[in-house]
Homo-oligomer: A and B are copies of this chain.
């Protein structure tokens, strides 16, 4: 495998971030509206610190942004990460379509 190390670990982080139900829920929530970290923490049956870590994972994956406002940290959705993930999966879908086309061509030759 000779792949760009930087972007590959970025993609690792992106899908890793999506692979947890709590984090996916956070992403949905903060895309619709604003939440402070403690506001999010109130929603789940886990400690504030645990939610804080989830938000940190999402931020590193560009799925969420944080902005300090007074004593609160406001969490909002970040479209960048989602767009990158979707683009990635579109590439895999394109490989499937090429394969289907290739098989169709072979059948047509007969």
| B-contact 0/1 string along A18-34, CB 8 Å cutoff | 11111011011001100
B3, B25, B44: the one within 8 Å of A21 (CB)? B3
How many of these chains are in the complex? Answer: 2
Task: Give 8 nearest A-B pairs by CB, closest first.
Answer: A15-B19, A15-B18, A16-B19, A8-B21, A15-B15, A31-B95, A86-B89, A12-B19
Smallest CB-CB separation from A26: which chain B residue?
A: B1
- A contacts with B: majority SS: helix
Q: Indicate with 1 or 0, residue by residue over A70-89, a CB within 8 angstroms of chain B CB atoms.
A: 00000001010010011001
A93 at the interface (CB under 8 A from B): yes
A11 interface hit (Cβ, 8 Å): yes
